[in-house]
Amino acid sequence: MIILLKKNADESQVESLKMLLRAQNIEPHVSKGSMQTLIGCVGDVAHIDPSLIEAIDVVESVQRIQEPYKAANRKFHPEDTCVDCGGVEIGAGQFGVIAGPCSVESEEQIIGVARAVKEAGAKMLRGGAFKPRTSPYAFQGLGKEGLRMLSQAKKETGLPIVTELMDFADIELFNDVDVIQIGARNMQNFNLLKEVGSYTKKPILLKRGMSATIQEFLMSAEYIMASGNANVILCERGIRTFETQLRNSLDLGVVPLLRRLSHLPIVIDPSHATGYASMVEPVSVAATAIGADALIVEVHNNPQKALCDGIQSLTPEAFASMMPKVFAIRDLVESWTKK
């Protein structure tokens, strides 16, 4: 349910309305737009009679939101959301590239890659410490030690860090992490979503599950938001279809679709979407052209020797050669939207 307020609504009356909603176990979220202020209601609104709310002085009208996702819904928050990722803003016109290896492998490796991607224009560093691997015999990540190395790379370069949390039991190790990634395999780990959403207001980069519909994806964002953390970034990394020639199937149509349905920032992961380094540049350029708010790209100092996802990893040189093309397209996109 959303409550549209009258223009110039009296602040104290708005406060009383919020108190009244809280007394009904509804959490009010005020969204002040350039045209109108509205209150989005999170909670079980089924028992609320809209005509009683409409009778309140400051209320212009009341609308029910049909979709099951409320806080993530654009109707709830008409303006684009900008998420502050350790000083780097993503969304609402702010664009950035996140880059780094699939996994942190050594201090030398992560600091070297961090320096190289920063030099090429990346705004954040990615690197897995806890890895969700299909095989229990494959490299599982350096864990706590990997997080320490990421922190060291952050200290050396100033780049905020993005890394995956698989188990809530590890959350206290993530104090220095700027953006917590919830991977595709955990997109519907509802307990993890609730735990992380209630524990921290740090940005959460939520990756689309490999067989998740867009509605399920948005419902997972809703879990985090309903638990108290509105700083969610949606990451499309392709889904599994009947096609096997690419690692996943990426429908870039999700960018304008998610833009219409939600106010949250949208990130495209061209590395996991395609599975091949040679396809990362064209997909990155296309994702930028269609209006993604950010890209997350795997870059490895020596892809042939990578312990994880080497085939899809760019060398620092290939990344540096791709970035001017991405920025050129981004400039064009910005010039269209400014008109």
Binding site for Mn ion (CB under 5 A): 102, 309
Shortest Å, Cβ 304 to ligand PEP: 18
Q: Which does 324 bind (CB under 5 to 8 A by kind): Mn ion, ligand PEP, none?
A: none
Q: Which does 247 bind (CB under 5 to 8 A by kind): Mn ion, ligand PEP, none?
A: none
Q: Which does 149 bind (CB under 5 to 8 A by kind): Mn ion, ligand PEP, none?
A: none
Residue 98 is a binding residue for ligand PEP (CB under 6 A): no
Is residue 161 within 8 A of residue 179, CB to CB? The reply is yes
Structure tokens given for 286: 């296309």
Residue 40 is a binding residue for ligand PEP (CB under 6 A): no
Structure tokens given for 214: 């867009």
Q: Whole-angstrom distance between the N-terminal and C-terminal Cα of the chain?
A: 33
Give me the residue whose beta carbon is nearest to Mn ion.
102
Angle at 328 between CA 322 and CA 331, to 5 degrees: 140
Shortest Å, Cβ 183 to ligand PEP: 3
Q: Which stretch binds ligand PEP (CB under 6 A): 13-21, 79-87, 178-186, 315-323?
A: 178-186
Using alpha carbons, select from 192, 123, 132, 133 the residue that is nearest to residue 161: 123
Shortest Å, Cβ 313 to ligand PEP: 10
CB atoms within 10 A of CB 264: 27
| Pick 195 or 309: Cβ nearer Mn ion | 309
Residue 237 is a binding residue for ligand PEP (CB under 6 A): yes
Q: Which stretch binds ligand PEP (CB under 6 A): 37-45, 144-152, 179-187, 188-196?
A: 179-187
155-176 burial: b if 16+ Cβ within 10 Å, else e = eebebbbbbbbbeeeebebbeb
Shortest Å, Cβ 121 to ligand PEP: 20
| Pick 102 or 292: Cβ nearer Mn ion | 102
Residue 102 is a binding residue for ligand PEP (CB under 6 A): yes
Specify the amino acid at residue 287.
A
Q: Which does 222 bind (CB under 5 to 8 A by kind): ligand PEP, Mn ion, none?
A: none
**What is the rounded distance in angstroms from the CA atom of residue 292 to the CA atom of residue 65?**
26
Identified binder of ligand PEP from the candidate list 68, 87, 93, 132, rule CB under 6 A = 132
Q: Which stretch binds ligand PEP (CB under 6 A): 7-15, 34-42, 63-71, 182-190?
A: 182-190
274-296 burial: b if 16+ Cβ within 10 Å, else e = bbebebbbebbbbbbbbbbbbbb
The residue assigned the tokens 């706590």 is 144
Residue 128 is a binding residue for ligand PEP (CB under 6 A): yes
If DSSP codes are grouped into helix, strand and coil, which group holds residue 82? coil
Q: How far is CA 259 from the centre of its chain?
A: 13
Q: Which does 238 bind (CB under 5 to 8 A by kind): ligand PEP, Mn ion, none?
A: none
Residue 247 is a binding residue for ligand PEP (CB under 6 A): no
| Pick 75 or 237: Cβ nearer ligand PEP | 237
**What is the rounded distance in angstroms from the CA atom of residue 159 to the CA atom of residue 77?**
30
Is residue 309 within 8 A of residue 102, CB to CB? The reply is yes
Residue 205 is a binding residue for ligand PEP (CB under 6 A): no
Identified binder of ligand PEP from the candidate list 123, 263, 272, 300, rule CB under 6 A = 272
Across-strand partners of 310?
none
| Pick 39 or 129: Cβ nearer ligand PEP | 129
**What is the rounded distance in angstroms from the CA atom of residue 232 to the CA atom of residue 173?**
20
Helix (H) or strand (E) holding 182, with range, is strand 179-182
Residues at the contact surface with ligand PEP, assessed by CB under 6 A: 102, 128, 132, 183-185, 207, 237, 272
